[in-house]
Amino acid sequence: MGSDALTALSPLLATAVNVVVQVVVLRASGGVRFRASLLTGFLAGGLALAALLWTVSCGACARDLAGHALLAGGAYAGLGFCYFAFLNLNQASLRIRMLKELHAAPGETLPLGDLLARYHAGHILDERLDRLLGSGQLVLRADRYYSGPRSEFLVLARFLNLLKRMLLGRSGAPPHGM
Amino acid sequence: MKLALFAFGAFAGAFLLHVALWQLRRPRSHTAALLAIFLGALPAALLLGALVPALRPLTPHTAWEYLLVCEFHVALALGYIVLYSAIEGDSPSCQIVTAVAASGARGRERADLARVIDNESVLLVRVRAMEREKMVAQADGALTLTPGGRALARIYLAVEVIFGLPRGG
């Protein structure tokens, strides 16, 4: 296979490595280490991409290689993000959860009140608080929640709020004094 | 680097068009509009490259270069469309960490957070969005899955089985 072909196919091959490694790690952990499997898969795919680009680097001039590597890296990151989002939706999306509840209901129909009773805001709040405490984003002291030692979620929330203000003219932040 | 410049330019052009259109009027079906803008931008950029002699050196020249540019553009476009759904919706987790961070050293009680995460802001907004996207239909106060919603539910139930994941949400 020529170096141009290998460069062009490298994001797809690296994404395949990402998926296979992620599935193997998750299966090996009995479905428990979901986030670790996503990170491991993405890093393994990134290493595969770097190895493929290093292999073709001998035959290409440095300037072409830099541009092509930038495109291949961007494509790999984009595909990796889509794969992460696809799997993460299954874990985090309220819409997907509601669709599954409806699918399991007789005639795939549920009164709205029943759906809200099964899956109400208090239940969602408790689940999210558990997850955020478990991942170190929040800490609980004397029945009060404080920002935790890890702040990835807060950084993400601020980034999304910035885009929300730019595109939609509103912020997702709670009102002051809340 | 010329090819990278072309690919980044095509994506940046699509993004700027999206921002400009959203300032004027936001379309009803966001996902379809974003797909049309971002996936339409690449053939438009290639056509522009073919018609404008000054741009020709930047455009792809071999089938493999076309493939690389397409992969880059489609991957970033799909990634952005996925991200946009997070921009549009208010994630409960993001709302919680933002509210707690805003409280500083005082912290928040659960009851404070329950005022942010209520049925209207978290669930009913999503029910309306699912109706708008024709995933569910509402009649006489009951929700029913549409064929599109059923297909999506089955895909995610299959993912749950394949990966052995617990029920999320």
- At residue A91, the pLDDT reads 75
The rounded distance, in Å, linking the Cα atoms of A167 and A165 is: 6
- Give every residue of chain B whose pLDDT is below 50, as ranges: none
Q: Which residues, in sequence order, are CB contacts of B8 under 8 Å at separation 6+? A: none
Smallest CA–CA distance from B16 into chain A, residue: A167
Closest CA to B109 of A129, A163, A92: A129
Domain boundaries, chain A: 3-92, 135-178
Average pLDDT along chain A: 85
**Confidence class for position A177, pLDDT limits 50, 70, 90:** very low
Q: In chain A, what residues touch B107 (CB-CB under 8 Å)?
A: 141, 144-146
pTM, two decimals, is 0.79
Smallest CA–CA distance from B66 into chain A, residue: A8
- For residue A60, pLDDT over 70 is answered with no
Q: In this predicted structure, which of A127-136, A167-176, B1-10, B52-61 has the lowest mean pLDDT?
A: A167-176
The rounded distance, in Å, linking the Cα atoms of A141 and A137 is: 14
Report the gap between the CA of A16 and the closest CA in chain B (Å). 14
- Residue whose pair of structure tokens reads 């912290």 in the numeric block: B107
DSSP labels, A102-136:
HHHSGGGEEEHHHHHHHS-HHHHHHHHHHHHHHTT
The rounded distance, in Å, linking the Cα atoms of B137 and B142 is: 8
Mean pLDDT for the stretch of residues A85-109? 86
Measured CA distances, A47 to A50, A51, A166, B154 (Å): 5, 6, 35, 33
Reading the block at residue A70, the tokens are 């930038």
The rounded distance, in Å, linking the Cα atoms of A150 and A137 is: 5
CB contact under 8 A, A4 and B64: yes
Substitution target from B59, B68, B84 for chain A, most A beta carbons within 10 A: B68
Specify the amino acid at residue A127: E
| B53-82: b (≥16 Cβ within 10 Å) or e | eeeeebbbeeebbbbbbbbbbbbbbbbbbb
Q: Enumerate residues 30 to 59 of chain B having a beta carbon within 8 A of any beta carbon in chain A.
A: none
CB contact under 8 A, A178 and B112: yes
Mean pLDDT for the stretch of residues A94-108? 88
Mean pLDDT for the stretch of residues A160-172? 80
| Residues B10/B12/B13/B19 CA torsion (nearest 10 deg) | 150
CB contact under 8 A, A111 and B142: yes
Q: Tell whether ipTM is more than 0.90.
A: no
- At residue A176, the pLDDT reads 42
Q: What pLDDT, in 10s, does the model give residues A18-44?
A: 999 998 898 888 767 888 899 999 999
